[in-house]
Amino acid sequence: MKKLTMEELDRLTVDQFKESTKIPVIVVLDNIRSQHNIGSIFRTADAFRIHSIHLCGITATPPNREIQKTALGATESVEWKYYQSTIDSVKELKQDGYFVVAIEQANDSVNVNVFKPNIYNKIALVFGNEVHGVDDEIMKICDACIEIPQHGTKHSLNVSVAAGIVIWEIFTKF
């Protein structure tokens, strides 16, 4: 067995990526503190051809050296938009016909592997702050909530890890 070379992987160029068909998912980052988490989520969004990312509140924006350390260029391929308030992002998405889903531990949450995204035309996935999670005001206006089952002693996953799990699950179902 040998690892594939970059040429053998035959990845898209940034221009080809921008022109390619994306899955109808927008990732909303609600006040993410860590720029490394932001960069990692950009890289995951690129890997699974997410439509775009909304960076909200205190979430840092490109160009940014700390984001770039983990994004490795994905800030150039994945479309993004900044919102001063997550509420503004979510309200705009709902007006545009998106089914808005919080990624959080909450009553009435649906297990990530049970959620059926393909019955909705467009989905927005809201990932919350590393300490406080998705803001309570955002939770009130979301259409649904997805939870990642956990069986250890900790009550949460790192936001970039949670994003990777959820985005992969959604990608496989589209």
Q: For 117-133, how does the pLDDT look when each residue is reduced to its tens digit (9 = 90+)?
A: 877 789 999 999 999 99
The CATH code belonging to domain 6-173 is: 3.40.1280.10
Q: Per-residue confidence at 65, pLDDT binned at 50, 70, 90?
A: very high
Spatial neighbors of 159 by CB under 8 A, at least 6 apart, are 32, 34, 37, 41, 127, 128, 129, 130
Annotated domain spans of the chain? 6-173
Q: Please state the rounded mean pLDDT for residues 139-150.
A: 96
pLDDT at residue 129, as a whole number: 96
The yes-or-no verdict on residue 55 having pLDDT over 80 is yes
Q: Per-residue confidence at 72, pLDDT binned at 50, 70, 90?
A: very high
